[in-house]
């Protein structure tokens, strides 16, 4: 299939459709009701050095952080943990979680990639998995996911609803952000209920029209890249989506029919028909992404034809 794609070269819309119809067959995903959300690449101000304004650290991956699975996890390590810390003697132990890190567990280890202004904004960078940081002294630092503490992900939006504090309106990302900033102490406490903490790496210079490097190893394409459950799908699988999404100028729902490519994953993306659409970069993309919580009418995998 790779050889056929390389031989085809760049194609217009009609030729691209013909290529997929010739080489792939549809497989309707019927094991679960499909559900879509959106994500984006935030843009925020920051500095490589701590300043009076920029005090919230964004950390690179610690050298002692290792991924674990059923084959490598020691019997005395919590089976819910997907990463661990390797001690100097080689023993694997639980890594400090979000509350511990925010309390200073990583201080003095020179892990800071950058500093940003606001703890809530930093939390949303963790949720999105990438960011562009406009540096105080000029230039832009682009960062992307490079590991996590391994603790299970907790949706603080769902937690807010469970506590009866979400109100009656749909809890969009903008409403959640506003709630977290309105009461800083309560917001910090709620964010700490998500014990999972994300580490980042600095990216090389990329095309500004594209997103960060995804888990599949290629830059994200707005409106075409889809995050999926890695345990259910192979990266680079074409997936056809159809339905109505809030993509209109005022957030109104419009018809959406598009072939996506599975290029990314995320802690909250769980299930065979769960998808997260990469919308783009910046505040406008964030507003669109935050509104997407919809069930499409079609979530169709494209499987290579045996005769292709």
Domain residue extents for the chain: 2-154+194-304
Rounded to the nearest angstrom, the gap between the alpha carbon of residue 195 and the centroid of all alpha carbons in its chain is: 16
118-135 burial, b at 16+ Cβ within 10 Å, e below that, comes to bbbbbbbbbbbbbbbbee
- Number of H helices and E strands in the chain, helices first, is 8, 17
Identify the band that residue 186 occupies on the pLDDT scale cut at 50, 70 and 90. very high
Window from 30-39, 121-130, 197-206, 216-225 with minimum mean pLDDT: 30-39
Does residue 166 have a pLDDT over 80? no
Span 82-102, mean pLDDT? 97
Has residue 307 got a pLDDT over 60? Answer: no
pLDDT at 1: 62
**To the nearest whole number, what is the mean pLDDT of the chain?**
93
3-class SS of residue 251: coil
CB neighbourhood size of 296 (10 A): 20
State in Å, rounded, how far the first CA of the chain is from the last one: 8
pLDDT at 308 over 60: no
What topology does CATH give the domain 2-154+194-304?
Ribosomal Protein L25; Chain P (2.40.240)
Strand (E) or helix (H) holding 22: helix 13-23
- Side-chain-facing half-sphere of 196: CA atoms under 13 Å: 23
Which of the residue ranges 5-9, 41-45, 103-107, 175-179 would you say has the lowest mean pLDDT?
5-9
Cβ contacts of 53 within 8 Å, gap of 6 or more: 47, 117, 136
Has residue 254 got a pLDDT over 60?
yes
Tokens 């960060």 label which residue? 212
Q: What value does the mean pLDDT take over residues 241-259?
A: 93
Lowest mean pLDDT among 13-27, 79-93, 131-145, 217-231: 13-27
Q: And the tokens for 15?
A: 């030729």
Structure tokens belonging to residue 260:
């996506």
Those residues whose C-beta lies under 8 Å from the C-beta of residue 179, and which sit 6 or more positions away, are: 160, 165, 166, 187
Instruction: Work out the average pLDDT over 282-291.
Output: 93
**Confidence band (pLDDT; 50, 70, 90) for 174?**
confident
Q: How many residues does the chain have?
A: 308
Q: CA angle, corner 218, sides to 293 and 20, nearest 5?
A: 75
Burial 203-217 (b: 16+ CB within 10 A, else e): beebeeebbbbbbbe
Tokens 């505040």 belong to 283
Query: For residue 115, which phi and psi values (nearest 5 degrees)?
Result: -125, 140
DSSP state letters, 126-176 = HHHTEEEEEETTSSEEEEEEEEE--PPP--HHHHHHHTT-S-SS---HHHH
Question: For residue 195, how many other CB atoms are within 10 A of its CB?
Answer: 17
Residues 6+ apart with CB under 8 A from 276: 36, 37, 38, 39, 226, 227, 228, 264, 266, 268, 269
The Cα 86–Cα 67 span in angstroms is 10
């Amino acid at each position: 299939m790779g050889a056929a794609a390389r031989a085809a070269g760049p194609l217009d819309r009609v030729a691209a459709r013909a290529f997929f119809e010739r080489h792939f067959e549809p497989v309707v995903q019927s094991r679960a009701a499909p559900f879509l959300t959106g994500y984006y690449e935030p843009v925020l101000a920051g500095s490589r050095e701590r300043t009076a304004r920029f005090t919230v650290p964004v950390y690179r991956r610690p050298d002692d952080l290792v991924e674990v699975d059923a084959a490598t996890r020691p019997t005395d390590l919590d089976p819910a943990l997907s990463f661990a810390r390797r001690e100097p003697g080689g023993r694997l132990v639980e890594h400090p979680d979000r509350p511990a890190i925010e309390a200073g567990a990583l201080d003095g280890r020179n892990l800071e990639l950058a500093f940003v202004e606001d703890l809530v904004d930093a939390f949303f960078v963790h949720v999105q998995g990438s960011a562009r940081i406009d540096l105080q002294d000029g230039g832009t630092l682009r960062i992307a996911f490079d590991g996590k503490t391994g603790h299970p992900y907790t949706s603080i939006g769902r937690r807010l609803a469970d506590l009866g504090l979400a109100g009656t309106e749909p809890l969009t990302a903008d409403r959640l952000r506003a709630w977290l900033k309105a009461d800083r102490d309560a917001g910090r406490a709620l964010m700490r209920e998500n014990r999972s903490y994300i580490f980042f790496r600095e990216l090389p210079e990329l095309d500004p029209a594209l997103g960060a490097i995804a888990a599949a190893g290629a830059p994200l394409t707005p409106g075409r890249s889809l995050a999926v459950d890695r345990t259910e799908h192979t990266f680079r699988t074409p997936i056809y989506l159809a339905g109505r999404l809030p993509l209109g100028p005022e957030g109104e729902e419009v018809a959406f029919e598009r072939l996506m490519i599975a290029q990314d994953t995320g802690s909250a993306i769980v299930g065979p028909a769960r998808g997260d659409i990469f919308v783009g970069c910046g505040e406008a993309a964030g507003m669109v992404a935050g509104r997407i919580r919809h069930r499409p009418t079609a979530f169709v995998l494209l499987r290579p034809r045996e005769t292709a």
